[in-house]
Chain A
Amino acid sequence: MSQNSSAEMGKNRTGIAMSPINAKAVAEGAKESPPSSSGDRHTQDALKAFYLEQSERIGSVPPPANLKGVAKTALKMIQGEKATVLVDKLAERLAFERTGTRLYEAIIGKAEVLAEQSGPRVDELEKIHHQELSHFHMVKGYIENLGGDPTAQTPSADVVGVASSGLLKVITDPRTTMPQSLQALLIAELADNDGWSTLIKLAEGFNQDQMAADFRKALEAEERHLMQVRGWLSARTQEEAGTA
């Protein structure tokens, strides 16, 4: 299949319509075979409940690494254990922006080789890449100011990494087209926009005014990214469909 096309007609063999005789046999065979035990999809719930009831979690937020200077002052301002929520969500954003930077590097590499006529242009992608990188550095700075360790992987950082691992798989696959890569990027930008909104509310809740103001600027940039990616994806999809 050509790199330029996401949906060429071809020999896709996954559906039953591609093998009508065998499809009939496999469906009839399944129908006439009773299951080896009664029940339904809920039967496995009891097995899962045992594990759900365990109190283990995937991990914890590390204690502050540095209680000197600004960090001490900042921590004083943030009362109680809930400060770990802010640290955890900051680490989540840091991880997402760091991976986001790599996502844009991968898509830039693809755009350079494919040299496609219609967007996104490499310079447009590079501009977003620089902003993602600067967001990563900004969050890193705030974690350090709070006495946190920006190299630590907190639970939310871990979860967001697992959740977005498929996006990286799609974009780094040389066989995926630009629109397919943009689809993955759109998911990243949608999640990123909501991530920044959450973080702004948290910063405001902890009376971190400067932090909230800087994050609002970051959100504005992310909103522009989202609009651009949406626009590219929509245009490319319509272009492929011939409805542009």
Chain B
Amino acid sequence: MALHLFEEKGVPLERQRFTWRELVQTPISKLDDDAFTRVRIILMNGIESEALRFQHACARMNGNLQRPLARVRRVEQHQQTLVNWLLPPDQSALETTIGFEQVAIEITAAVAQQEPDAYLAQVYRFGMLEDFDHLYRYSALMDRVEGMDANNILQCYSDIRPGRPTSVEHRAPEDDLRKPYDRHKAAPISKLNALTIMAAEHQTHDYYMTVGPSFSDPVARQLYAEIASIEEQHVTQYESIIDPEESWLEKWLLHEAAEVYNYLSCAGQESNPRIKSIWERFVDYELGQLHLVMQLMKDIERRDPQEILPHSLPEALPHASQRDFVRKVLSQEVDLRAMGTEFIGKGQEGPDSASVRYRQHMNSQGSPSEAVAAGYQWQPGTELATARS
């Protein structure tokens, strides 16, 4: 990806403006647009959501940064609005959920393959197999409660089959923590990967916590409660791989770089020309924001951003079906469990371990993810397509 971060200045912050009509554009077509257009919208909404979350936390801890943070954050807010409002109103909360899980599978699988650090790649594969199972459970819910086919959203790009069963994903909090990368040694792409997946998972958690109570069906309400709990575990996992010793400005710089990288990946692969122009516009906006933070780093920390950022961005993150990779990981790693920061086989998990005891208690009054998908195998057009009347 031949974009030179230090030469390309993008659009200066003072020229990053919107009108309400620009923020609220005609949404994509749920029926006609490619599933990966929806994947990109959900991903970038998550990236922008993380930008706001991080910048608020940063402002609360750094009085001297509050003014530039407020200025940049206003633009991030409107970028997120524009992106998120591209989702169409005929897409139900459950359909959007299916889209969220497709993001979690396909984007995490792509990240796992490009991640140079073996341990971090393992972390992504571990999390990906859990989200893979969530897609299967939500698809069963959609079929059995709403009589609808999740593949209408997935468009055959992602498999609908069990992964690591959701019912065994529940772990003691200490078993969700991982070892962080070393900010001095990690490759820049490792830092961008971590921010990307942490943002996506945090957004997923927040979305399930928001829409879960809007469902009437008790199984749906329980399933959202259960999977939201796993997403919280995933946020714990992914934020723990990021070096906590990075300074606030260093983290801000990396956030902006991750935004540039992801918008650029979107712009290069978008099939809808109208949406592509939005991604291109936001590459330029993010470059402008990145350069503002570069200058702050020079002025405040007296550090050269070139110590942290690569001169040019890595190759675009592939936005495509990772079916073969996912199947390979599924066949080899479905029985992995976590103990502390390490991954172990399920046979190594002692019956009295904190995670096993926690899991047994949580499931002791029934497991929504098992109940909803009992005996379930996805079929084209729902399981009713072959049911006898």
Q: How far is the CB of B368 from chain A (nearest CB, A)?
A: 6
Residues of B within 8 A of A57 (CB): none
What A residues does B159 contact at CB under 8 A? 25-26, 29-30
Q: How far is the CA of A86 from the CA of B57 in the complex (A)?
A: 54
Given contacts A37-B374, A47-B368, contact A13 B379 (CB under 8 A): no
Determine, out of A38-46, A194-202, A233-241, the stretch whose residues face the partner at the interface: A38-46
Residue A79, interface by CB 8 Å: no
Which chain B residues lie closer than 8 Å to A35 at the CB level? 162, 373-377
Contact B377 A31 (CB under 8 A): yes
Residue-by-residue, is B158-200 near A (CB-CB < 8 Å gives 1, otherwise 0)?
1111100101000000000000000000000000000000000
Q: Which chain B positions have C-beta within 8 A of A242?
A: none
Is B374 touching A33 in the complex (CB atoms < 8 A)? Answer: no
What secondary structure prevails in chain B residues at the interface with A?
loop
CA distance A48 to B374 in the complex (A): 14
Whether A37 touches B152, Cβ cut-off 8 Å, given contacts A47-B218, A173-B90, is no
> Digit string of A15-42 for contact with B (CB within 8 Å is 1, else 0)?
1101100110111011101111111110
Question: 10 additional contacts, CB 8 Å, given A22-B156, A26-B154, A41-B144?
Answer: A14-B155, A16-B151, A19-B156, A22-B321, A29-B160, A43-B374, A44-B368, A46-B366, A46-B371, A175-B88
Residues of A within 8 A of B165 (CB): 36
Verify if A217 is at the interface (C-beta below 8 Å from B): no
Contact with A along B351-389 (1 / 0, CB 8 A): 000000000000000101011111111111101000000
Binding stretch for chain A, among B1-9, B30-38, B112-120, B293-301: B30-38
* Contact across chains for B31 and A29 when beta carbons are under 8 A apart: no
Contact string, B265-281, partner A, CB cutoff 8 A, digits 1/0? 00000000000000000
Q: Are B160 and A13 in contact (CB under 8 A)?
A: no
Residues of B in contact with A (beta carbons under 8 Å apart)? 26-27, 29-35, 88-90, 144, 151-162, 165, 167, 217-219, 222, 321, 323, 327, 366, 368, 370-381, 383
Chain A positions near chain B (C-beta within 8 angstroms): 1, 10-16, 18-19, 22-23, 25-27, 29-31, 33-41, 43-44, 46-48, 50-51, 169, 173-175
* 19 A-B interface contacts by CB (under 8 A): A1-B29, A13-B35, A14-B152, A19-B156, A22-B321, A25-B156, A27-B380, A35-B374, A35-B375, A36-B165, A36-B167, A36-B373, A37-B370, A37-B373, A43-B375, A46-B371, A47-B371, A48-B219, A173-B90
**Contact status B156-A16, CB under 8 Å:** yes
Contacts of A173 in B (CB 8 A): 89-90
Q: Which residues of B contact A22 (CB under 8 A)?
A: 155-157, 321, 323
Judging by beta carbons under 8 Å apart, are A26 and B160 in contact? yes
For B155, list chain A residues within 8 Å (CB).
Answer: 13-14, 18-19, 22
